[in-house]
Structure 1
Amino acid sequence: MEITGIGGLIVLALDIWAVISILGSGVSTGKKVLWVLLVVILPLLGFIIWLIFGPRSPRI
């Protein structure tokens, strides 16, 4: 049961990182909203899709 809780926290942390990265990216506001909705509505699947296809914030 503890593994499920830890797994949920990991997915939550990854989703927060994805949302921050999406909001910092250079894509249009409409695309940002769609990506954030995808990550929020489908946390694990949305994160994986974003990781493969999504916008990234510029590297410093």
Structure 2
Amino acid sequence: MFSTLGAAIVFILDIWAIVSVLGSGASTGGKILWILVILILPVVGFIIWLIAGPKGGKQIA
């Protein structure tokens, strides 16, 4: 039961990440790359996107 719940949570988070990528201002190539990373590595890809994705375009001075 817990593995099914965990898989459902990962699936929902991945769908949310993909929708966010599609709605972002990134280039088409960047969007495709992010979506592939999220699909190929569901958990790790989501974590990488969560850390690097939203802040990807921002420069910290």
Common fold: TM-score over 0.5: yes
Deviation at 1:43, TM superposition (A): 0.2
Larger RCO: 1 or 2 (CA < 8 Å, sep 6+): 1
- Unaligned ranges ≥5, structure 2: 56-61
Deviation at 1:31, TM superposition (A): 0.2
Deviation at 1:55, TM superposition (A): 3.7
Amino acid at match of 1:34: L
- The aligned counterpart of 2:59 is none
- 1:17-56 matches, within 5 Å, as 17-55=16-54
Q: Tell me the C-alpha RMSD between the 2 structures.
A: 1.1
Deviation at 1:6, TM superposition (A): 0.2
The two structures have a TM-score, normalised by structure 2, of: 0.87
Q: Is the 8 A contact 1:27 1:55 kept in 2?
A: no
- Unaligned ranges ≥5, structure 1: none
- The CA deviation string for residues 24-53 of structure 1, in whole angstroms up to 9 with x for no partner, is 000100000000000000000000000000
Q: Is the 8 A contact 1:14 1:47 kept in 2?
A: yes
Identity, % of aligned pairs?
58
Partners of 1:35 and 1:46 lie apart in 2 by: 8
The two structures have a TM-score, normalised by structure 1, of: 0.88
